[in-house]
């Protein structure tokens, strides 16, 4: 019997980058998983939490908890949303022992996509091929809160004909930062351009990341600068057969 995983397709992937979500499904199925999408899902609550709206964040987080309470494994195509759930739900519900029990029961079963994949024994069966020069952007929460530095790189290493070139500013923030990107658009834009310069220096044709929000920021800055570099979610690279 195929093992089953529930996916949490983050709101930004759902609404703006469905291809990344579909690619994740493709990869998971290729590894033999039965993928379940719970239609009640919406958002992890991070926008409200980061903006200081704790009550609103709690309400939405509870909705997430209700939606996924009985899921055995939950895979998320985002470091940032995963970290919101696994690290910051505890901040949100500190002092509410009843909910904390549910949070503690849920969070060990929530995995960021690359984190989850790396635990799989049959990664060879992916048979991914991507004949391009690629550079990898460390999204901040995946890197600093989840400690995901090697996992995505190791996965990229499995892709046939893919050349990974590290950029100098790989660990620097792209400048997205949720509402920061519009509240402080000029600073956010300047940060993105620094990142773009670093990407361009590698000569890569694609920049890959775990977070569609960072990719949206980078893509917007690349295209505004008239650069041809494309942005891809890691799942899209792993789903590719060249």
Partner 1 sequence: MSAPDSAIRQTLADANLQLAIYSNTGRFKDNRVKAVAPDQLPEYQDLRTRAAAIKRHTLAFLDVYLLQLENAVNDNGGKVIWASTGEEAAEFIVKLAKDRQANLIVKSKSMTSEEIQLNERLAHNELEAVETDLGEYILQLAGQRPFHIVAPAIHMTRHDVADIFTEKLGVAHDTVIENQAMTARRVLREKFLTAGIGITGANFLLADSGAVVIVENEGNARLTHSAPKIHIAIAGIEKLIPRTRDLAVFLDLLGRSASGQTLTSYTSIVTGPRRKGELDGPEEFYLVLLDAGRTKLLADPDQRESLQCIRCGACLNACPVYRKIGGHNYPWVYSGPIGKVITPALQGKENNAWLPFASSLCGACGEVCPVKIDIPGLLIKLRKELVRSDPADRSAFRVWAWLMRRPVMYGLAGRIGRTLLRRMPLGFNFGPLAAWRSERDFPAAPSKSFRDCWKERKK
Considering the rule CB under 8 A, would residue 145 count as an interface residue with partner 1?
Answer: yes
* Residue 96 token pair: 């509410």
**Interface with partner 1, residue 17, by CB under 8 A:** yes
* 39 Cβ contact list (under 8 Å, min separation 6): none
Contact between 4 and partner 1 per CB under 8 A: no
Which C-beta is closer to partner 1: that of 41 or that of 162?
A: 41
Q: Does the footprint of partner 1 cover residue 40 (CB under 8 A)?
A: yes
Selected range binding partner 1 among 57-65, 124-132, 154-162, 199-207, rule: CB under 8 A = 57-65
Q: Which member of 37, 129, 131, 150 binds partner 1 (CB under 8 A)?
A: 37
Give 46's Cβ-side CA count (13 Å radius): 20
Considering CB under 8 A, how many residues would be counted as binding partner 1? 66
Q: Can you tell me the distance from the alpha carbon of 20 to that of 237, in angstroms, rounded to the nearest whole number?
A: 9
Asked whether the beta carbons of 202 and 169 are under 8 A apart, the reply is no
Note whether 26 binds partner 1 by CB under 8 A: no
What DSSP string describes 46-77?
A: HHHHHHT-HHHHHHHHHHHHHHHTT-S-EEES
Site string for partner 1, 96-135 (x = CB under 8 A): ----------------------------------------
Q: Where are the beta strands (DSSP E) in 8-109?
A: 33-37, 74-76
Contact between 14 and partner 1 by CB under 8 A: the answer reads: yes
| Number of DSSP helices (H) and strands (E) in the chain, helices first | 14, 8
Q: Provide the residue count of the chain.
A: 242
> Could you tell me how far CA 148 lies from the centroid of its own chain?
11
Smallest separation, CB 35 to partner 1 (Å): 9
Kindly state the tokens that stand for 78: 């985002």
Binding residues vs partner 1 (CB under 8 A): 9, 11, 13-19, 21-22, 37, 39-43, 45, 47-57, 59-60, 63, 91, 140-141, 144-145, 171-173, 175-192, 194, 216-217, 219-221, 223-224
């Amino acid at each position: 019997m195929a093992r089953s995983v529930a996916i949490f397709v983050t709101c930004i992937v759902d609404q703006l980058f469905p291809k990344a979500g579909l690619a994740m499904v493709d990869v998971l199925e290729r590894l033999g998983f039965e993928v379940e999408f719970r239609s009640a899902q919406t958002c992890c609550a991070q926008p409200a939490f980061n903006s200081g709206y704790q009550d609103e964040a709690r309400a939405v987080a509870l909705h997430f908890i209700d939606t996924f309470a009985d899921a055995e494994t939950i895979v998320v195509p985002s470091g940032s949303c995963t970290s919101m759930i696994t690290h910051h739900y505890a901040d949100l519900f500190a002092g509410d022992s009843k909910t904390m029990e549910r949070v503690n029961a849920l969070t060990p079963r929530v995995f960021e996509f690359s984190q989850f994949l790396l635990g799989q024994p049959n990664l060879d069966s992916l048979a991914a091929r991507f004949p391009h020069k690629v550079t990898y952007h460390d999204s901040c929460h995946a890197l600093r809160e989840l400690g995901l530095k090697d996992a995505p790189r190791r996965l990229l290493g499995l892709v046939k004909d893919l050349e990974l070139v590290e950029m100098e500013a790989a660990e620097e923030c792209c400048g997205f930062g949720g509402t920061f990107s519009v509240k402080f658009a000029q600073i956010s834009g300047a940060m993105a351009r620094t990142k773009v310069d670093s990407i361009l220096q590698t000569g890569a044709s694609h920049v890959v990341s775990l977070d569609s929000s960072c990719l949206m920021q980078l893509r917007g800055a690349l295209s505004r600068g008239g650069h041809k570099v494309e942005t891809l979610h890691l799942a899209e690279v792993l789903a590719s057969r060249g």
